[in-house]
Amino acid sequence: MSNGPLHGIKIVEFAGLGPTPFAAMSLADMGAEVIRIQRPNLQHLMGLKYDILDRSRGFIELDLKNPTDIETAQNLIASADAVIEGMRPNVMERLGLGPDPMLARNPKLVYGRMTGWGQTGPLAHAAGHDINYIALSGALHAIGPADTPVIPLNLVGDFGGGGIYLAYGIVCALLEASRSGAGQVVDTAITDGTAHLMSMMYAMTQGNAWTDARETNILDGAAPFYNVYQTACGGHVAIGAIEPKFYAELVDRICADPTLKTTQMDRSTWPAVKDTFAQIFKTKSRDEWTALLHGTDTCFAPVLTIAEAFKDPHNTARNLFETHENVVQPRPTPHLSRTPGAIQPASQSVPLNVSSVLERWQSK
């Protein structure tokens, strides 16, 4: 077992999609013992034999329509430090597994709840997915070219605005419970988390430093010095030379007109400079530009495929990826110097013995 910072913490996870397994993985990687409850003979939605999001923890099979299995879940929660669930509001209450009865049995319990819209509000009971939640916060509107928003995978909502906030909230509540002796409910909504991620853009909009229209701002594809360019080979490179000294170095190294340095923040020049940069970057391949600019203060990076990212020299030097069960996967992060996280050995095909888990947890 890991000696990670959460070693000794026991967490019950109810099987779900996206943000809840991501939060559970993050906590398990840091040493918590997480046991996932899933229905018998559950098949993976995507057909995966090994899912990175399910790593570092084992599972038990319970039928939550069966009163005996409900009682087993209750007993497990009564011995846990925290719970992770991602049902619609009131589902857990109807099952007899909601916060009130569970906190009555286990007053120090941290009850982590994950929804898209939140436990309250007009949309609380409506169905939705990542794309809907980030739309409501203004995040989706802000991403993409001028003519249409672009879907940022499900990184902004499910994982950034959801799973990590759930894990963060649980750790905060666990820390407080260690001082007060009292648990609490962590109401995590993807809409809330996404809005929190948008804090800088909200501030800039109200301070007249951000225009509420796509491809008109420094960070949304309007600026020539913060953009993606196609190269001669059909690949792409990413440029992020915001600071004047970095922009000046970029102009020099790509042999652009030196006078461009004096007009960097003149937005009226941006379209023409973007065209100029686009023409310049098409004169060399992605690898040629990498050889010329990588590691300099031009704020440059090649746009790598997933397969290329696994083998990149910097990523390799950082030991960013590990291989477990023949699957390449990111190692636990952030990297702690004294009590680092680690991917825990756990079967994703053979369930744990429920009685053994209960006996062990209740004896601690």
**What SS3 class is residue 80?**
coil
Of the CA atoms within 13 Å of residue 100, those in its CB half-sphere come to: 5
Active-site annotation holder among 7, 129, 141, 294: 129
For residue 63, the 8-state DSSP code is -
Cβ atoms < 10 Å from Cβ of 258 = 10
Residue 70 token pair: 């409900």
181-184 contacts at long range (C-beta below 8 A, 24 or more positions apart) = 181/107, 181/108, 182/107, 182/108, 183/103, 183/106, 183/107, 183/108, 183/109, 183/110, 183/111, 184/110, 184/111
Active-site annotation holder among 29, 69, 81, 158: 158
Whose structure tokens read 């937005």?
267
Residue 133 token pair: 């939640």
Q: Residue 83: what are its φ and ψ, rounded to 5°?
A: -130, 145
Distance separating alpha carbons of residues 165 and 186, to the nearest angstrom: 10
Active-site residue, 158 included: yes
Residues annotated as part of the active site: 129, 158
